[in-house]
Amino acid sequence: MTNDCNILTGDNVHQNSERLRHLSISRGYHILTLIAWLLALIGYFGPWVGQRAAALAWNAYDLFDLLRLLPEIETGAVIVNLQSLRLPLIGLAVFLPLWAASNGCEAPRTKKHPGKWRPGIPFKNAMLVLNGALLLNGAVALLGMGLALMTLPGYPQILGAWRAPGWRVPFWWGLGAMAGAAVSVWLGPRLGRYHPWVSLAWLALTGIPAALTFSRLLPALSTLHALPIHPGWGFWVCMTGMGLLALLAWWQGTFPTIE
């Protein structure tokens, strides 16, 4: 009897240690994801043009409006999709609420009976957890919608932006991102094990085109200012943050024990 008790105690200790290890890994993953997202956002609004002159300290948000006036763009000598410079902000605006909803707290339930509360957890406490998670996910969704709102044209361009050439694409992208951030509260928990791969594809879709477009614009900027133009720290920080987010999404998809 004593030996059986010792074996049971040893099994419990092993299970507890494994649970603590998984909890530590999961917590580290969440912290790294938030840091990477903040880095990408800071980098997006940081200078993408590596010049000390204040007049050239443009970030990705400003570049979309300013580069439309480049002679190479107006004459068609350089054909690029300037709207793609807004894609990283759209990607970050949708990624965060989708990630928060997919990895957030849910009301504790049993696996065999998903409609019943897990034994030992009072109904009132479980409802507090559920309501807190919904409030947090809703707040993050509002933050994402606010970021997506920034990609819309300003006044008075927005009045006819839905059909105006040059503004039509960012207008509908912005509205789509706002809707995506709102729907993510409902969609995130339903993606299940596909969430990391959806996030990975989304980050690639919104990060790579912006990097390619910016690299193609550097020679035109150098010609315009008769100076060698190099990517600024904002570009590298933004791309590093988005790359780290993609790496973490791949990690979560490859090792599904991370929750």
pLDDT tens for residues 106-121? 444 444 434 444 444 4
Kindly state the tokens that stand for 93.
């605006």
How far is 239 from 234, CA to CA, in rounded Å?
8
The pTM of this model reads 0.76
Query: Is there a contact between 258 and 251 (Cβ–Cβ < 8 Å)?
Result: yes
Nearest to 158 by CA among 147, 170, 146: 170
Q: What is the pLDDT of residue 255?
A: 77
Q: Domain extents for the chain?
A: 2-254
Nearest to 106 by CA among 64, 75, 77, 137: 137
Q: What is the pLDDT of residue 112?
A: 43
CA distances, 121 to each of 102, 113, 114, 144, 246 (Å): 22, 15, 14, 33, 36
* Burial (Cβ within 10 Å: 0-12, 13-18, ≥19) of residue 231: middle
pLDDT tens for residues 243-256? 999 999 998 888 76
How far is 45 from 90, CA to CA, in rounded Å?
13
State the sign of the Cα–Cα–Cα–Cα dihedral 230, 235, 179, 196: positive
